[in-house]
Chain A
Amino acid sequence: MSRGQGPTTTGRAVLFALPAVFPVVAVLGVSLAAAVLQSLGLMPFIGPPSFSVEAWTGNTGELVRATGLSLNIAATATVLSVCIGFLIAAYVLASPRMGWIVGALSAATIPIPHLIGAGAIGLLLSDSGFLERVLGMPAAFPALVGGPWWIAAITEYAWKESAFVALVVLGSIARSVGDLCDAAATLGATARQRVFRVVLPLAMPSLAVSALIVFVYTLGSYEPVWLLGPTSPEPLPVRAVRLFGSVDLTARPEAMASALVSVAVGAGVILIGILVVRRSREFR
C-alpha cells in the first residue's frame, strides 16, 4: 500500500477497481444477509418466517466453546505453518540445488485438495496407519487422529499451508535476497545470522500477510478437522456443516449462526492484522 496519494488518485483507483469489486461485494453481501436472515428464523425452508434469536442464544456455551477451539486450532496451525514455511524458504534460498527439489515439492503440494491431504495424513498417522506400522508400537502409539490435541488435523494444515507460506515468501523476496545475503556475508554475517537478521526481516511483510491468510483459511476450513478431529468438541465449521446437513430443517438457523461467527471472527482477525501490518510499516 503506497501512502502519500492525493484524493483524486485514490478516487480513480477505486473507480477502476469497481467492476472487479462490485460482484464480489454483491455476492458476499447477499449471502451474508441471507445467512443473517436464516439465523434469525426470517428465511425458513418450511413454515412461515418468525423472528427468533434462539439460534444465537439457545446454546451459547457450545458456540463459545466451538469458537475458542477453532481459534486455537487456527492459531497453532498458523504459527507452525509460518515457522516451517519460513524455514523451507530459507533452505531453498540457501542451497539452490537441493532447494530446487524442496521448492518443487512444496509447489506440488499446493494444488492437492485439503480433503485428499487430510485422507493421506489420516492413513499416515492413524492408530493402524503407516507410521504406526513402520514404528511397530501398537500399544504406545499416541492418538494422533481423533485425539484430544487435534495433532493430525493441525499437522495437515501445517504441511499444506507451510508450503503456501514458503512459496509466498520465496515469490516476494527471491529476487533481492541473494544479493543482500552476499552483502551481509562480506560484512561478517554467518549463515545463521543471514537467515535471521536479513532473510527473516525481509520476509516479515509477506510472512505477516500469508499468516493472516492461513489463519483465516484454517479457521473456516472444514475437511481436515472433520476427518481428523475427535467427535467432540467441534470446531465452528464442523458444527455449521453438521447443523446445516441435519435432517431437522429447524437446525439451519443454528448452522447459520455458527457460520456467521466464523465469518465474523475471520473478518475481525483480518482487520486487526491489516492494522498491525500498517502500524509496523509506519514505524519503520
Chain B
Amino acid sequence: MPRLPAPVSPRRRAALYTAASALALLLTSCSGATVGQVKSFESFDEVRAEAEGQTVDLWMYGGDEQGNAYVDDVLAPAAREQGVILRRVPVADTQDAVNRVLSERQAGRDDGSVDLVWVNGANFSTGRQAEVWRCGWTDLLPNMEYTDREDPLILSDFGTPVDGCEAPWHKAQFTFFYDSEAIADPPTSLAGILEWATANPGRFTYPAPPDFTGSVFLREVLLSAAGGADQVPLEYSEEAFDEHAPAALQALSEVAPSLWREGSTYPRDEQALNTLFANDEVDIAMTYGPATLTDLVAAGALPESTKVLTLDEGTVGNASFLAIPANAADAAGAMIVANIALSPEQQAAKADPAIWGQFAVLDTELLTPAQQDQFELLPESPIVPDYAELSRNAHGELAADWVPALSEAWRQDVASDR
C-alpha cells in the first residue's frame, strides 16, 4: 500500500465534523478559561526525574503502516527502557490533533490529552498563531548535539521559526520519478518537465491542490517560473504573491490542455497519481517520501522501470518535527521520547527502508565513527539514490501562508477554466 510521506497531507473530514466541532466550540467557549503557567525545566535531569512512569500519548497520522510499526516496535520499547510508556494515537489527519489541542485549550484544560504531535508546516504555524505549543524546550535534549545548529531545515519550518517549539524528527525531500521504459531521455529541470508534458500530451499530471503533494508541486512551479528558489521571498506577502504567482499559474494553465484528461480533472492525491503511474496512464509522478519508492517497487505497486528523476536546480526539502502542546499532561515524558527519537540508533533504524525509510535529521559529521557506521550499513537502493544526492541544491519551504493562497488561485485560474 502506498504510504504518505509526511504528517501534513490535508485529508478532509466529513461535513458532519463541521457541526460537531462547532458545537464543541460553542459549548466550551463559554468557559473561556486560559491555560495556567507552563511549568519549565532547568535541566534534563529534572525532566528525567519528572518523566519517570509517565505515559506519553503521541498523536500521529495513522495511515502509514511502516510508521506505525516503527513507533510501536522500535521507539516505544526504547522509551520503556527509560521509564516512559509511549502510546500511539492514530489520527486520520494531523489537523485533528491540532483541533483537539485548540478545543481543549478553549475549554481551559491544562491536563491535555495530547502530549506529543508529529507535525510540520501549516499545522505547526497554525498552532503557533494560536500559541498552543510549549516552546524553548529542545535545547534541553542531549541528542540535539548531533544536529547541525545552522541547518535551515531545522531552524525554520515552512518559513515559521522553530524557536525550540518542536524537536526535529526526520527529513523529507520532494522527488520526481519516471518510467524509464517510457522515457529514455528524462528532463532535468522543472521547466523541462513541463515542456516534456506539452510534447507528450496526456502523459503527465499532478495531484489537485490543496492536496499536500499537489501544493508542493505548485510551489515548485512558482519557484521555477520565478527563475529559481532565491528569487521568491520565503515570507508571504500580497506583493510577493502578485509578483510571482501569475507566471506560475500561467505556466500551469498553458500546460493544462496537454495533461492527463486534458486537465479537465486531476488526481485527488498522491496515491491516485501513483495509481495512474502504475497503470501506465502517466509517465512521471512525484512524492515527498522517496525512501518508500524502493518498497513500492519491490511490492509491485510501481513498475520495475521506476527511476528517480533528480533536477539540476534541486527540489524542495523539509523536516518534520515532534511538538509538545503547552497544556500536555505528560510534557516531561514527551521530552524523553523526543530525545530518544533523535538518538543516532533510532535515527539510523528509522532510515532503513525496511523499517520506515525516513531520512535522518542528524549531521553525520557530528557523529562518532561507530555511530556513522550504523548509517553506512543501510542497504543501497537501485531506485533511490542516497539523501546526499537527492538533496543536492535543495531549497527550503516557503512560508506556510503561501500554501492556501496558491491553492485558491490555482482553483480559480487553472482548475475551473477547463
Contact = CB atoms under 8 A, between A and B. Distances in A.
Interface stretch (A76-84, A171-179, A231-239): A231-239
B208 interface: yes
B10 A246 contact: yes
B403 A245 contact: no
Given A33-B26, A244-B15, A251-B404, 6 more contacts: A27-B23, A38-B22, A46-B129, A232-B265, A247-B403, A248-B401
Nearest to A255: B18
Contact of A245 (B12, B411, B415): B12
A247 B123 contact: yes
Contacts of A232: 265, 411, 415-416, 418
B43 interface: no
A241 B15 contact: yes
A2 B134 CA distance: 62
Contacts of B22: 31, 34-35, 38, 43, 256
Interface of B: 10-15, 17-20, 22-23, 25-27, 29, 93, 95, 102, 121-123, 125-126, 129-130, 208, 210, 261, 264-266, 268, 275-276, 279-281, 400-401, 403-404, 407, 411, 415-416, 418
23 contacts: A31-B26, A34-B19, A34-B22, A34-B23, A34-B26, A35-B18, A37-B26, A43-B29, A148-B264, A222-B12, A231-B415, A232-B265, A241-B17, A242-B210, A244-B12, A244-B18, A245-B11, A245-B13, A245-B95, A247-B121, A247-B400, A248-B403, A248-B404
Interface of A: 27, 30-35, 37-38, 43, 45-46, 127-128, 143, 146-148, 220, 222-223, 226-227, 230-233, 237, 240-242, 244-249, 251, 255-256, 259, 262
A88 B125 CA distance: 54
Nearest to B209: A231
Q: Label chain B's interface by main secondary structure.
A: helix
A73 B10 CA distance: 26
B412 to A, nearest CB: 8
A12 B47 CA distance: 64
Contacts of B17: 241, 244
A166 to B, nearest CB: 26
A230 B264 contact: yes
A143 B261 contact: yes
B404 A256 contact: no
B182 to A, nearest CB: 15
A264 B102 CA distance: 29
A276 B20 CA distance: 32
Contacts of B276: 128
A37 to B, nearest CB: 8
Contacts of B129: 46, 249
A222 B18 contact: no
Nearest to A129: B279
Nearest to A220: B15
B411 A241 contact: no
Contacts of B121: 247
